[in-house]
Amino acid sequence: MKTDVVIIGGGPSGLLLSQLLNKAGVATVVLERTSRARVLARIRAGVLEQGTVRMLQEAGVGDRMAREGHPHEGCIFSDDDLMVRIDFKELTGKTVMVYGQTEVTADLYAAQDAMGATILHDVADVVICDAVSDAPFVTFTHDGVQKRVDCAYIAGCDGFHGVSRKTIPDDRRREFERVYPFGWLGILSRTPPAHEELIYANSANGFALASMRNEMLSRYYVQVPLTDKVEEWSDDRFWERLTSCLPGDVVKTLVTGPSIEKSIAPLRSFVSEPLRWGRLFLVGDAAHIVPPTGAKGLNLAVSDVFYLQEALIAAVKKGDMAGIDGYAARALARIWKAMRFSWSMTTMLHHFEGEDGFAAQMRKATLLHLSQSETARRDLAENYIGLPY
């Protein structure tokens, strides 16, 4: 097999990159380790920045999002019963889109199928070869047969546990990490959302987030110790913790119900540099992980895709290497700013085991300042709706 770009990973970043490259006449082969059903069964992100919405529209996958997605003009930060609204529209002139990552991925698969794109599922033993050469290739096993695809470039869109980042020699990689001593226990329930906008809640009982997918599908999270197991959390126990974190006025109208999905996600901040190794480029979770507190994970993957698709199209179609040579620095500049925002939101809203009263006072003062300072609200809004590409 021979193609222009091999994309390792059929998640949102791999599929979006493939879609944009194919639209520009650049051939791709996507290699995905699991089945399509497994990819589409993952419940992940829920909030899309305006830049992500624009990229999906440019990729030709914006129609269902426009019909079924929900534009949000603001969100709430609460501290016990204090509720502070961040008015994105008034403060930045922009909004965000509530539309699940699962739906984004399904729309991308449908568009890639319509294009006749080459996406191989249930691929194993992916090995990136000769990345630092003019003739890289990838070997893998598919349908029990060892195969090889030769290409001009390789995009590592294979997430935190993929092979791409580890292809860069350990002594050439620089990794930055903060592992948080808690996780998010999340549930989906076929109930009306607690509030028409998202609520990021700080409380004496820890952090909680009230989100949604649509008017009859709610997504909730509560902070739990990393040692907790999902089977230790009955629905009743979850609802009890959630109601102890949300503002009293919201709890009054909260509709509870059985969970249809329940999982615990660990929280970490992580960046691996460099993003480029010869003709291999790291994209999305393969290169960085943010705690979901800032709703940046998927959106950061999309801005990586924006920079890389522009660079690859110029290189493949015109032999212009400027974008290729500038990709890593350009993407990292935005990655680190999103890393900072996600870290600050996480430290601002979560209880840390063994923290002293001073830390709790810092959280309360931050939220009180947010309620009294338009400048503080504008700074948060600018980061939340997404910094410029």
Residues lying near ligand PHB in the complex (CB under 6 A) are found at 45-47, 198, 209, 211, 219, 292-293, 295
- 388 part of the active site: no
Per-residue binding letters, 110-149, with ligand FAS (x by CB under 6 A): -------------x--x-----------------------
User: Residue 327 catalytic?
Assistant: no
| Residue 219 or 350 with smaller CB distance to ligand PHB | 219
Site string for ligand FAS, 162-181 (x = CB under 6 A): xx------------------
Cβ proximity to ligand PHB, 45 vs 131, nearer residue: 45
Going by C-alpha positions, the residue among 203, 369, 169, 200 that lies closest to residue 278 is 169
Name which of ligand FAS, ligand PHB, none residue 49 binds, using a CB cut-off of 5 to 8 Å depending on partner kind.
none
Would residue 292 show up in a list of annotated catalytic residues for this protein? yes
**Phi–psi pair at 74, nearest 5 degrees:** -175, 175
Least separation in angstroms between CB 69 and ligand PHB: 12
200 is catalytic: yes
CA angle 256, 370, 350 (to 5 degrees): 50
Residue 293: which of ligand PHB, ligand FAS, none does it interact with, CB under 5 to 8 A by kind? ligand PHB
Q: Which one from 94, 292, 327, 351 is the annotated catalytic residue? A: 292
Residues in 276-295 at the binding interface with ligand FAS, rule: CB under 6 A: 284-285, 292, 295
The nearer residue to ligand PHB, 219 or 279, going by C-beta atoms, is 219
Residue nearest ligand PHB by beta-carbon distance: 46
Annotated catalytic residue within 109, 153, 200, 221: 200
Per this entry, what is the length of the chain?
Answer: 389
**Chosen from ligand PHB, ligand FAS, none, partner binding at 10 (C-beta under 5 to 8 Å by type):** ligand FAS
Q: Which of residues 24-83 bind ligand FAS (CB under 6 A)?
A: 31-34, 39, 44-46
- Residue 275 interface partner, choices ligand FAS, ligand PHB, none, CB cut-off 5-8 Å depending on type: none
Give me the least distance between CB of 385 and ligand PHB, in Å please: 13
SS (H, E, C) the chain: CECCEEEECCCHHHHHHHHHHHHCCCCEEEECCCCHHHHHHCCCCCEECHHHHHHHHHCCCCHHHHHHCEEECEEEEEECCEEEEEEHHHHHCCCEEECCHHHHHHHHHHHHHHHCCEEECCCEEEEEECCCCCCCEEEEEECCEEEEEECCEEEECCCCCCCHHHHCCHHHCEEEEEEEEEEEEEEEECCCCCCCCCEEEECCCCCEEEEEEECCEEEEEEEEECCCCHHHCCHHHHHHHHHHHCCHHHHHCCCCCCEEEEEEEEEEEEEEECCEECCEEECHHHCEECCHHHCCHHHHHHHHHHHHHHHHHHHHHHCCCHHHHHHHHHHHHHHHHHHHHHHHHHHHHCCCCCCCHHHHHHHHHHHHHHHHCHHHHHHHHHHHHCCCC
Question: Which of 129/359 has CB closer to ligand FAS?
Answer: 129
Our CB check for ligand FAS shows the closer of 33 and 276 to be 33
Could you say which of ligand PHB, ligand FAS, none residue 297 binds, taking C-beta under 5 to 8 angstroms by partner kind?
Answer: ligand FAS
Which active-site residues does the annotation give? 72, 200, 292, 296, 384
Which residues of this protein are in contact with ligand FAS, per CB under 6 A?
8-14, 31-34, 39, 44-46, 101, 123, 126, 157-159, 161-163, 265, 284-285, 292, 295-298, 301
